[in-house]
Structure 1
Amino acid sequence: MRPRVVIHNSVSVDGRLTGFPVDLGLHYEIAARIPADAILSGSGTMLAAAAEQGVDLSGEDPPPSPPADGDQRPLLVIVDGRGRLTRLDWLRAVPHWRDVVIMCCAATPHEHRARRVVTAGDRVDLAAGLAQLHAGYGVRTVKVDAGGTLNARLLDAGLVDEVSVIVSPRVAAGETVPLFTAAAGTRLRLAGSERLRDDHLWLRYTVSADTAAG
């Protein structure tokens, strides 16, 4: 059994994740209305965040402290099959989650000083990883805050139950990243829409039952 999976992103009116100014306050205001036990992201997203924040990823990662009993904040789960993200203390310092868990595979180098969800093989098996989150950590709902590649892998694997997008009244410019890099043929059904401030629109879609897998 796997958790319920909700992809949540802010996009331009032409469905891009980059190339336009994102209203981060609005993005996280709406994200807070989607309760989740874990936030799922990719190593590429976190490496980009580290570069933007000037984090020195070559520094030593100190051993993590165990989360306090009864902490109800979600976990941050990072898919990192290649072991690229070896320093995590800067992420543990963020108050939005209680701890960081790495979702990796048997072939991943063992540099992570973090709790790990390990799947068999030489590539992360997302279905198996999600099932382990449910069984080992009691995760019932996962909110995905990631780039187009991880979004597409989840959707193509039939692991997504809902797609939530905040549509900005902007057309993206320059070389941009799509919401889904390669997902094809997935049938979505509109579950709700809400007009937000400054001409933003929140759209929620459920994935057709004949597409989602569990």
Structure 2
Amino acid sequence: MSLGASADGKITLHRDRILLRPEHRRVWASLSQDDAGPPVEQRLDVQATLEGSGSLVDHDAGPLTGLPAPTADPAELHTHHLPPSVVDDPARRYWFAAVNGRGRVRWQQENPPGWAVLVLVCRSTPLDYLQWLRQRSICYLVAGAEQVDLPSALDALGDELGITRLASTAGGSLNAALLRAGLIDEVELTLFPALVGGADTPTILDGTPLGPEQLPTRLELLASEVMPRGTVRLRYRVSASASASASASASAGD
């Protein structure tokens, strides 16, 4: 898990301000006056990053509408779609994986050089959306029935594409689900010298609160760096005892 956050743990300016939109990204980037260094995929030597659909569309957005009615066999649509033209493209170096079980994201921009989109869906994802992804040669993996099953999805990333190192740059709900499932090994936090506030503003971990018998997840500090203008980068390992006691499965509604 790798996130940039304000000193009070907020990962955006407001629930409705999506940082992938240029006007919001510029303001967010101004919170840190330090050079962030290499991008996460190089800094942590990962093969893929992971986002939830909430990082890409408004939080109340529903499934895409107006797509052509599905004509393909549902059994075919419910199999992984990994066109060789994308998977075997020598120019592709990284995967941008997104949990999108409800079919909310309209992929329409060209990918940055070296990147390819990989959508994580489930059997309840609208069939017209799955067909639309296939028609656009967008890769997807099917994991779970009513929601995306995160352990199964990560297993499929390894089995189908050989991905063994992945960094979640997602929002608090997805990161909390990954943590509760024991799927996070390390946490990297880049804290900006700024405060955002707001009771409803997303934080590094949201999701379901701890249950009566659950304890906070313990972290072991691996490295820390204080940059000249006040940005602090912290890297932790999730303790072995926390990973061992985590749930064996989790789902994500996005």
Q: Give the TM-score of the pair, scaled to structure 1.
A: 0.80
Give the whole-Å Cα distance in 2 for the aligned partners of 1:201 and 1:9.
Answer: 12
Check conservation: 1:10, 1:22, Cα contact below 8 A: no
Check conservation: 2:10, 2:197, Cα contact below 8 A: no
Task: Tell me the alpha carbon deviations over residues 88-142 of structure 1, each in whole angstroms, 9 at most, x when there is no partner.
Answer: 131xx13154311111111111314122111132011100000000000010100
2:154 to 117, 127, 130: 130
Q: CA deviation at 1:12?
A: 1.0
Larger radius of gyration: 2
1:22 to 14, 24, 28: 28
Unpaired segments ≥5 residues, structure 1 = 1-6, 52-56
- 1:66 is matched with which residue? 85
Give the whole-Å Cα distance in 1 for the aligned partners of 2:100 and 2:123.
Answer: 11
Give the whole-Å Cα distance in 1 for the aligned partners of 2:37 and 2:202.
Answer: 20
Corresponding letter in the other structure for 1:152: A
Give the whole-Å Cα distance in 2 for the aligned partners of 1:133 and 1:75.
Answer: 10
Task: Tell me the alpha carbon deviations over residues 139-164 of structure 1, each in whole angstroms, 9 at most, x when there is no partner.
Answer: 01001111111111101111000110
Unpaired segments ≥5 residues, structure 2 = 15-26, 68-82, 211-215, 249-254
Q: RMSD of the TM alignment (CA)?
A: 2.9
Q: CA deviation at 1:70?
A: 2.6
Corresponding letter in the other structure for 1:126: L
What does residue range 34-49 of structure 1 map to in structure 2 within 5 Å?
34-48=44-58
- 2:124 is matched with which residue? 107
1:33 paired with 2:47, answer no
Specify the SS of the correspondent of 2:56.
Answer: helix
Percent of counterpart pairs with the same letter? 33
Give the whole-Å Cα distance in 2 for the aligned partners of 1:149 and 1:19.
Answer: 16
Give the whole-Å Cα distance in 2 for the aligned partners of 1:38 and 1:19.
Answer: 25
Give the whole-Å Cα distance in 2 for the aligned partners of 1:203 and 1:173.
Answer: 21
What does residue range 176-191 of structure 1 map to in structure 2 within 5 Å?
176-182=201-207, 184=210, 185-191=216-222
Check conservation: 2:122, 2:142, Cα contact below 8 A: yes
Check conservation: 2:92, 2:113, Cα contact below 8 A: no
Specify the SS of the correspondent of 1:83.
Answer: coil
Specify the SS of the correspondent of 2:43.
Answer: coil
- 2:225 is matched with which residue? 194
- 2:171 is matched with which residue? 147
Specify the SS of the correspondent of 1:211.
Answer: helix
Aligned residues: 197
- In structure 2, relative to structure 1, the CA distance for the partners of 1:59 and 1:46 (3 Å cut) is farther
- In structure 2, relative to structure 1, the CA distance for the partners of 1:212 and 1:178 (3 Å cut) is same
Q: CA deviation at 1:30?
A: 4.8
Q: Give the TM-score of the pair, scaled to structure 2.
A: 0.69
Check conservation: 1:164, 1:204, Cα contact below 8 A: yes
Check conservation: 2:91, 2:114, Cα contact below 8 A: no
Corresponding letter in the other structure for 2:120: M
Give the whole-Å Cα distance in 1 for the aligned partners of 2:35 and 2:56.
Answer: 20
